[in-house]
Structure 1
Amino acid sequence: MGLLHPFIEIIEWVDDSQDTIVYRFPVQDKEIKMGAKLTVRESQTAVFINEGKAADTFGPGLYTLSTQNLPVLTELRSWAYGFHSPFKAEVYFINTRQFTEQKWGTENPIMLRDAEFGMLRLRAFGIYSFRVGDPLKFLQQVSGTNGYFDVESIAGQLKRTIVSGLTDLLGELKIPALDLAANYDEISKSALTKLNVNFQTLGLELASFFVENISLPQEVEQMLDKRTEMGVLGNLQQYAQFQAADSIKDLAKNPGGMASAGMGLGAGAAMGSMLFQTFSQQPQSAPPAPPQQPQTATCAFCGASVDAHAKFCPECGKAVEPRTSACVKCGAALKPGAKFCSECGASQATETICKSCGTKIDSDTKFCPHCGTKVE
């Protein structure tokens, strides 16, 4: 703080608070001595005001005040070169550090249109941080001549700015309500860019912005819970049967039975009817398959329709030629005259006995493979 002398020789501000943005150095009824020491610490900016007009601005550092480092004030006062007399001026210190853990939230629900649920009322909240980006603009647009200005003095305006901008952003993004939680990071980044435009008009900078939660109305949440239960339950009939069986088990544990449970005879009958209907309902079985039509063939002599398994034609009495034959080895159905089985590959030739040596050979073999005798 300045020393209590007629002339101020040291100008500085030691910030002991955590939320002070602007502090006016006490110079009332005092004059600043030319050659006084000005100390501006890190995250501070000092601004000299002359008769309500902003003059010179100083960043972090140690300064000895003179006409050389007060060019604007020198020009406003029309000082001659080498002026050494004390002078009057207001000195404002602006805190330029980042103010973190600032909370925002929707006091009233945000009305949005959703493709699936129609009109919705959403609530949201989160945190943000900001700093003074342009000290001179902040003095001119916000704090003015206030000797003390803290975060609380502007918090309400910043929250309203955030909610208004976020409402507009959610309408532009058109994210489905069920997908909002999966897009918090994307919404936060987009909001940081969009809201910074409004903050900069106040000489501020939005350093960070986070959406912590966007909640749906209670009615919609209950509907989603029901939808989730339906998906978990799956087969509702089986679930109803399980619930009915479980209720019977609970009633059986009651020594007084259903009557002592306050249900009465009529209620017991109604319960029995309900349980009967529950357990009697069975899933519908598939319709029976249509009867197979009998296989038929055509008689080669008269053209009449004949059952495929008939040996004689019922019209002309002629013997029906077999349409199929059986494999001599595996029994598979073959076309008449087939020499090999299409299933096992076995030859369909019948066996015969060699008259000379008695060896069994195929009937289509011309010479006996054992003795060489010609087969008749």
Structure 2
Amino acid sequence: MELSIAQIIKYEGDNSTFVWKHPSEDFNTSTQLIVHESQEAIFFMNGQALDLFGAGRYTLETENIPLIRKVTNLPTGGQTPFHCEVYFINKTEQMAIRWGTDSKVQYLEPTYKFPISIGASGEMSLSVSDSRKLLIKLVGTEAFLGQAKLIQFFRAFLMTRVKTYIAQTMAANAINIFEADAHLTEFSEELHKRLIPDFADYGINLNKFLVTTIVKPDGEPQYEKFKNLHFRQYADIMDAKLRQQVGVIDQQTASQRMVIEAQGIAQKRKIEGYTYQQERGFDVAEKVASNEAVGQFTNMGVGLGTMAGVGGVVGGIVVDSIQNAFGATPSQAGSPPPSEGNRFCDQCGAELTPGARFCDNCGAPQTSPDTCPQCGFRFIKPGKFCPKCGAKREG
């Protein structure tokens, strides 16, 4: 078959191919070679790899001259003695290349001490680092090298390194088989470092190596028994931690509730104008007032003089109430007249000057005075007339 004077040779493979040989051989001199980005081409002449071409267009000199080929080919039966061919190498990084162990490795589980078989699988990404080394050492005269075929070449390295390393590491570091998935990143990084030299010897870059699955013997009775035991223990530990956390939260909530209640009581005292001591005095007076006879006061060791000193204003109010109940005036009871005590503005809550008709803080008019101007009776609640002498109250 007569060849044309000039040919064009270019890559016609796909992205999953590492090495592809162009089907045209023994092409004429001045043939045009086109190499795309991320590719390299190697030109073979008479069995020797002569030139390596990067991206661009090139003119090949092959010694095959169309006009005189019939004459030069006569001694070889019409075949050219000047044999030439071109290989294209795809240098793009090829990702998500699957790998997996073809068998499981036996080792003694370090936590529960039972024999177990495990395997592994994952993904890796590869690219060509040395086109000439890959072609000469691995491809040879093959016309095609794809992902599947390349993995077959490296299967022995993968199986030996992966199975041995994972079993040794889990045993040496006492990694529980049920917690192995938590160590996938460590396995991936260490195996990546160990496998790089094996691929580099053949002109291949191992860019990434990921262990994504530790294959466990699911379904085996012994394995299932220890798996159930492990997860029951794990559940008990988590339950104990949860109960402890809930107890701490409850304790914190109770403390916060006590602080809030104390703050509320303090705010109430501030608004209503009395202190903690006055509140305690009122509690004591309330208990004393619940007794029905003076004899009971005596038996309790509590006299009217004692009550006058309890709780300040509150104590004074209770003393007057007790004295009135028994028909005795302050002078008859042998006690000094009640003190004016502290009064507070109905409008702003400020403490009033004794006897004041208006608040010296906000100017608001005040209710009737605390003491009857006629008989000196101390009022304990609002009203229009004195309950003791009947005089009209001022206001």
TM-score w.r.t. the length of structure 2 is: 0.48
**Inter-partner Cα distance in structure 2 for 1:224 and 1:144:** 50
- Report the structure, 1 or 2, having the larger helix content: 2
- C-alpha distance after superposition, 1:192-227 (max 9, x if no partner): 111111111222111211111113333334312233
Distance 1:143 1:192, change over 3 A: same
Structure 1 pair 227/208, CA: closer, same or farther in 2 (3 Å)?
A: closer
1:140 corresponds, among 136, 142, 166, to 136
Shift of 1:48: 1.1
Does the Cα contact within 8 Å between 1:31 and 1:87 map onto a contact in 2?
no
Structure 2 CA distance for aligned equivalents of residues 231 and 133 of structure 1: 48
Is it true that 1:22 corresponds to 2:25 in the alignment? no
- The answer for the alignment partner of 2:319 in structure 1 is none
1:47 partner letter: I
Q: Within 2, Cα distance between the matches of 1:31 and 1:65?
A: 9
What is the CA distance between 1:87 and its match in structure 2? 6.0
Shift of residue 45, structure 1, vs aligned partner = 0.9
Residue 25 of structure 1 deviates from its aligned partner by: 1.8
Q: Classify the secondary structure of the residue corresponding to 1:197.
A: helix
Cα deviations by residue, 1:37-61 (Å, 9 ceiling, x for unpaired): 3211122110011222221111122
CA distance in 2, matches of 1:161, 1:231: 38
C-alpha separation in 2, matches of 1:149 and 1:232: 51
Select 2:101's aligned residue among 87, 101, 106.
Answer: 106
Q: How many Å separate the matches in 1 of 2:230 and 2:145?
A: 52
Note the C-alpha offset of 1:230: 5.2
* Alpha-carbon RMSD: 3.4
Alpha-carbon distance, 1:137 to partner? 0.9
Counterpart-to-counterpart distance in 1, 2:86 and 2:146: 17
Q: What is the CA–CA distance in structure 1 between the aligned matches of 2:45 and 2:140, rounded to whole Å?
A: 13
Q: Which residue matches 2:240?
A: none
In structure 1, C-alpha distance between the alignment counterparts of 2:17 and 2:234, rounded to whole Å: 54
Q: CA deviation at 1:91?
A: 0.9
Gaps in structure 1 of 5+ consecutive residues: 68-85, 235-376
Q: 1:192 to 1:231 in 2, by over 3 A?
A: closer
Q: 1:32 touches 1:87 (CA, 8 Å); kept in 2?
A: no
1:2-60 CA deviation, whole Å, 9 max, x = no partner?
A: xx943443221133x342222222333x4332x43321112211001122222111112
**Structure 1 58/223 Cα, relative in aligned 2: closer, same or farther at 3 Å?**
same
Counterpart position of 2:34: 39
Partner amino acid, structure 1, of 2:106 = M
1:201 aligns with 2:197: no
Would you say the 8 A contact 2:94–2:127 is kept in 1? yes
Of stretches 214-223 and 200-209 in structure 1, the one that deviates more from structure 2 is 214-223
Residue 168 (structure 1) aligns with: 164
The 8 Å contact of residues 43 and 84 in structure 2, kept in 1 or not, is answered as: yes
Inter-partner Cα distance in structure 1 for 2:207 and 2:40 = 18
Q: Quick check: 1:46–1:57 contact (8 Å CA) kept in 2?
A: yes
User: How do residues 75-154 of structure 1 correspond to structure 2 at under 5 angstroms?
Assistant: 88-118=83-113, 119-154=115-150
Letter in 2 for 1:139: L
Distance in 1 separating the partners of 2:23 and 2:153:
28
Counterpart-to-counterpart distance in 2, 1:157 and 1:26: 24
Structure holding more strand per residue: 1
Compared with structure 1, are the counterparts of its residues 164 and 8 closer, same or farther at alpha carbon in structure 2 (3 Å cutoff)? farther
Instruction: Quote the Cα distance in structure 2 between the aligned partners of 1:221 and 1:51.
Output: 64
Question: Matched residue of 1:31: which SS?
Answer: coil
Is 1:10 the counterpart of 2:5 in the alignment? Answer: no
Shift of 1:120: 2.6
Identity %: 26
Name the counterpart of 2:335: none
Give the alignment's TM-score, normalised by structure 1. 0.51
Which of 228, 231, 236 matches 1:228? 231
Amino acid across the alignment from 1:31: F
Any idea what SS the aligned residue of 2:102 has?
coil
Is the 2:47–2:83 contact (alpha carbons within 8 Å) kept by the matching residues of 1? no
Alignment of 1:131-280 (within 5 A): 131-170=127-166, 171-172=168-169, 174-175=172-173, 176=175, 177-218=177-218, 219-229=222-232, 232=235
Cα 1:221–1:141, aligned 2, differ >3 Å: closer, same or farther? Answer: farther
